[in-house]
Amino acid sequence: MKAICVLALAALTASLSLPAAAQFAKKDDAIDYRQSALSVMAAHFARLGAMAKGDVPFDAKAAQENADIVVFMSRLPWAGFGPDTEGGKAKPNVWTENAKFKELAGKMEAEAVKLAAAAKQNDLASLKAAFGATAGSCKACHDSFRSR
Ligand code: ASC
């Protein structure tokens, strides 16, 4: 029984960590993948930004839906930054300073989780604050690791 539980847990863990194990046939496929994931994330983040800036009326349901998508998408790009996938706008130090890159990626993921929690409070001021903090975490990584 114990062995079966361990096997089931291992299978579950493997399925949950699928994005990290994503394989790409070609380097360009990995670059397309990470750029696509970041692009979808940015589209939904921008809808929150429009509310935070007052360009569109605050809509609590839309805020929650968009923030949940940002959280989900925030977990995906990193599988596309594997070994031998240099290119796109990524600077070479993504690979030579990989621990720092991963740390900043993780900070952005954590800010996205806080953003989704804020979006559930149905309060524009909370959303604004969390949006600003999340945008700051995007910028911190871009400043070090993305070329213009
Ligand atoms: C966005 C977006 C980014 C970040 C960054 C924050 O909406 O597409 O890349 O915010 O501009 O400074």
pLDDT digits (tens, 9 = 90+) for 115-132: 999 999 999 999 999 999
Q: How confident is the model at residue 10 (pLDDT cuts 50, 70, 90)?
A: very low
CA distances from 136 to 15, 35, 46 (A): 31, 19, 14
Separation of alpha carbons 100 and 2, rounded Å: 39
The model carries a pTM of 0.86
Q: Can you tell me which atom of ligand 1 is nearest the CA of 49?
A: 7
138, 145, 146, 148: which to mutate for ligand 1, most atoms within 8 A of CB? 138
Ligand 1 centroid – CA 55 distance (Å): 16
Question: Does residue 141's CB lie within 6 angstroms of at least one atom of ligand 1?
Answer: no
Q: What is the pLDDT of residues 23-42, one digit of tens each?
A: 899 999 999 999 999 999 99
Ligand 1 contact via 81 beta carbon (within 6 Å): no
The percentage of the chain sitting over the pLDDT mark of 90, rounded to a whole number, equals 84
